[in-house]
A and B are shown apart, each in its own frame.
Chain A
Amino acid sequence: MKLNVTNEDKICTIVIEGSIDALTSPELEQAISGAAPVCEKMILDMTGVDYISSAGLRTVVAANQKLGKDNLVLKGLAPNVLEIFRLTGFTKFFNIE
């Protein structure tokens, strides 16, 4: 997994590439909690994410809880990743673009 964090007028963008699984999600978690205090809004650009497991889901859910649905945007979800969100019914809790 590769992460690229940018901050523009307190709007943070984290571009994620690769798999978000049990091994890589702690890294994402760290990046999110690191950025959260200075961000009013956070965009997770997941265009490059090809796989997500429950560990990844939990990380994103935790971020959602911390920031609030209105302040977290999930962007560019690939069909198989979106499918996981759909399966869990989480789509309704998230701001998915």
Chain B
Amino acid sequence: MKKTKSIFFKTAIILALVVLLLDVLVLALTYNITYNNNLELAESRLRNAAEMTLKSTETYNLYDYVDKPEEGFNFDMICEMFDITYVYVVEPDVRTRSETYIAIGFGENASEEAINTRYPGIRVDGELNDSEIEAYNGNDDGVILHELSRFDDSLICYLPCTQYFDFKSNDYVEYKAPLVVGAELSLNDYNRSFQRQFNVITILTITLTLLMVVAFGVILYFKVSHPLRVITARISHFVTDRKKGFTKLKVKGEDELAQMSQAFNTMAEEIDTYIGDIEALTREKHTQEAELNIARRIQMGLLQPDNFDTAKMDIDAYILPAKDVGGDLYDYCVLDDGRIFTAIADVSGKGISASLFMSRAITLLHQYAQRGYSPARILERFNDTLAAQNPSGLFITAFVAIFDPQKHELVYSNAGHNYPYIISDKLVTLDSAHGVAAGLFAGEAFEDATLRLAPGDILFMFTDGVNEAKSASGEFYSTQRLEDRLRTCIGSDDPAAIHVVLDELKSFTEGAEQNDDITMLTMRVKPYVSEVTLNLKSDKSELVRIRSAIDQLDISEDKKKTLYLAAEEIFVNICSYAYDTQGEAGLNITVGNVIGMTFTDSGAPFDPTADVIDINDYDHEHSIGGLGRFLVFSVADRYDYEYKDGKNILSLYFNNEVNDR
């Protein structure tokens, strides 16, 4: 297990310190009290000793025994009696602060030095202290002096001795000057023994205390800290351990730890169930997401390519599905009669249900369009079929249009969808023929509206994902912005109106989450081409280019076929005869009241208008040459040839029936 700083370890240390401090305090106090008590006892002993001395020498003139102390009172006895060190009587000389010993007794522990230097009759200078002077001056309470020095601790009690009883005169006789009785106790030895005892007590106490603290710590560790660590380990490895199978913690007793273990068990069981649920949910979600991806792919696969180009018009589509599979769709196709069907639709709601609905919707629209129905009829059938089987009550808004490239006519009908726009020399909102959204109410009637589209006009269709796209700050892109942007496309030769809107939309929604499909569809009628110029290689394969160039011209289909024929015959002749190897040819066609077609080549001079065969002389059994030239000059209304600047220039003219397209 990892070494952790246990709170119990810290507590034990603090506790030990506190208890030690308390110990020291108590010991100090005890020391003090004991010491003071001892002092007091010693004082009273000294006082008694001094008084006893005074009493015992009451009947002596102490001076009589200065020279023969052994005959006088036995002062040593007093020392012995009261277990003190010294007892003495001195004659103070206050003026010189000296004193003269009159009598002295020594106790057991009197120092050798004192025994040798202190004896009756000795005068000691400068030894007279204030306490002695106080007693000398008559204080008979027993003046106590506690002399404390580095080497000495002694307690002395002084009493004045002023008189003695003289048996001869049977009266008290005053000494000529007061004497002072001193009883002295050296506390050194005493202190030493007291100190020793005290040290023993101190060591015992502290050891005991520490032992208790350690014992307490050990008990705490095994009873609280260790179980706590076990619980902690179980909690921190809960998720990893869970895989090996969940085991409960043992619950012993009813204390806090037991409650905690119990709480852990309950919590763990709940979390276990919860994690299990979440795991199941996550698995399910992954499966669902994978399925959603497939659904989205299938859905996108139902859509036509995003670009379609014919001679008459081009279609651009853009769809950006939101995160979930959505319900937007667009569709277009060229119908059997050459008309072009386009549709855009938006299913209410999102997700699988919307996408399924969308799949059905796109199939139905496509199917009804190919039956040759008008947009209104398509929407009616569409609505009826959807409404008949729509248990979840989804609905769909749709705009359907069919464009006739021959008549340049757009027929459209709207089932509750946002109004599309026509971008011509102005921006027109297609707000007529607007019916109810499809899918809910069978039997609804829709109407067709018809509009003439000029070459260069753009039909712009979109879903509400465009105008309701939100910026990062929550602002809508809005219809107003869309219209402003579309207006910039007026008069532009650029067919990609979608990209103009898309670019702005992308920067507008930057950083915001897209929450709806964004779909746009444009159909642009190609502008008339009134002139084409081609540089051709003298190779028959170039006929393909010639045909598509003629296809783009604003002339009738019949006229186009005439032009194909003339162009093919002339070009094939150039390919076959103009050059030994490969060369080049130019073709220019201009459309007006008269269609002019000019071929130029740099081959050998050859006038194709000369020697055109007379068809009546045509020997079709044997010669089939010259037939092509015959056809050309039959179908051309006028023709012209010149050889100029090293070039054959053949011009053909065809009358243009302006009204037949």
Listed in ascending order, the chain A residues whose CB lies under 8 Å from chain B are: 19, 21-23, 50-51, 53-55, 57-58, 61-62, 65, 80, 84, 87-90, 93
CB atoms of A88 and B565 under 8 A apart: no
A14 CB, min distance to chain B CBs, angstroms: 20
CB atoms of A88 and B631 under 8 A apart: yes
Per the bound structure, the CA–CA distance linking A50 and B635 in Å amounts to 16
Residues of B with C-beta under 8 A to A55: 568, 572, 628
Residues of A with C-beta under 8 A to B621: 65
B627: Cβ under 8 A from any A Cβ? yes
Q: List 16 A-B contacts (CB under 8 A).
A: A21-B564, A22-B543, A51-B564, A53-B564, A53-B565, A53-B572, A53-B628, A53-B631, A54-B569, A54-B630, A54-B631, A55-B572, A80-B561, A84-B631, A87-B634, A93-B620
Total interface residues on B, CB under 8 Å, equals 23
CB atoms of A61 and B565 under 8 A apart: no
Per the bound structure, the CA–CA distance linking A10 and B540 in Å amounts to 35
A2 CB, min distance to chain B CBs, angstroms: 17
Chain B residue nearest in CB terms to A57: B627
CB atoms of B615 and A89 under 8 A apart: yes
Residues of B with C-beta under 8 A to A61: 620, 624
Q: A54-B628, A58-B627 are in contact. Are A84 and B618 (CB under 8 A)?
A: no
Chain B residue nearest in CB terms to A84: B631
Per the bound structure, the CA–CA distance linking A80 and B572 in Å amounts to 21
Contact of B635 among A65, A87, A89 (CB under 8 A): A87
CB atoms of A22 and B634 under 8 A apart: no
CB atoms of B565 and A22 under 8 A apart: no
Q: Which of B32-90 contact A (CB under 8 A)?
A: none
CB atoms of B564 and A90 under 8 A apart: no
Contact of A84 among B544, B558, B565, B624 (CB under 8 A): B565
The digit string for B616-658, where 1 denotes a CB below 8 A from any CB of A, is 1010110010011011001100000000000000000000000
Count of CB-CB pairs between chains A and B under 8 Å? 58
Per the bound structure, the CA–CA distance linking A84 and B561 in Å amounts to 11
Residues of A with C-beta under 8 A to B169: none
CB atoms of B628 and A89 under 8 A apart: no
Q: A23-B543, A53-B569 are in contact. Are A88 and B618 (CB under 8 A)?
A: yes
Chain A residue nearest in CB terms to B616: A89
CB atoms of A90 and B561 under 8 A apart: no
CB atoms of B572 and A22 under 8 A apart: yes
B541: Cβ under 8 A from any A Cβ? yes
Nearest 10 A-B pairs (CB), nearest first? A54-B628, A54-B627, A22-B572, A53-B568, A87-B634, A58-B624, A89-B615, A54-B631, A22-B540, A80-B561
Chain A residue nearest in CB terms to B542: A23
Residues of B with C-beta under 8 A to A87: 615, 631, 634-635
Residues of A with C-beta under 8 A to B565: 51, 53, 84
Chain A residue nearest in CB terms to B569: A54
Residues of B with C-beta under 8 A to A93: 620
Interface centre among A21, A62, A93 (most CB of B within 10 A): A21
Per the bound structure, the CA–CA distance linking A26 and B607 in Å amounts to 28
A93 CB, min distance to chain B CBs, angstroms: 6
A17 CB, min distance to chain B CBs, angstroms: 14
Q: Which of B523-572 contact A (CB under 8 A)?
A: 540-541, 543-544, 558, 561, 564-565, 568-569, 572
Chain B residue nearest in CB terms to A52: B565
Per the bound structure, the CA–CA distance linking A62 and B540 in Å amounts to 21
Contact of B630 among A19, A65, A88 (CB under 8 A): A88
A91 CB, min distance to chain B CBs, angstroms: 12
Contact of B540 among A23, A54, A84 (CB under 8 A): A23
CB atoms of A23 and B541 under 8 A apart: yes
Q: Which of B492-550 contact A (CB under 8 A)?
A: 540-541, 543-544
CB atoms of A89 and B543 under 8 A apart: no
Residues of A with C-beta under 8 A to B630: 54, 88
A69 CB, min distance to chain B CBs, angstroms: 11
Per the bound structure, the CA–CA distance linking A57 and B572 in Å amounts to 14
Residues of A with C-beta under 8 A to B616: 89
Chain B residue nearest in CB terms to A59: B624
Residues of B with C-beta under 8 A to A57: 627, 631
